[in-house]
Amino acid sequence: MLAVSSVAVVFAAISIVGACTLALLVSTQQRKINSAHGMTAFHRHLDALSDDSREHV
């Protein structure tokens, strides 16, 4: 019984450490996404389309 609970504690600790690591990575990631950047990317996408594809947009 003790071995089963210790294994459960080890797996719980691993999952908690993994979740904390993921939360830290997500929170420290710098995001430069704003509406101007999105529009610029959209216009780049439109410019890359062929003339036939632009007719359907």
Q: What's residue 48's pLDDT?
A: 84
Question: Which CA distances in Å does 29 have to 25, 26, 33, 40?
Answer: 6, 5, 12, 22
In whole angstroms, give the CA distance from residue 49 to residue 19: 41
Tell me the backbone φ, ψ of residue 30, rounded to 5 degrees. -80, 130
pLDDT in tens, 2-40: 678 999 999 999 999 999 999 999 988 876 666 677 788
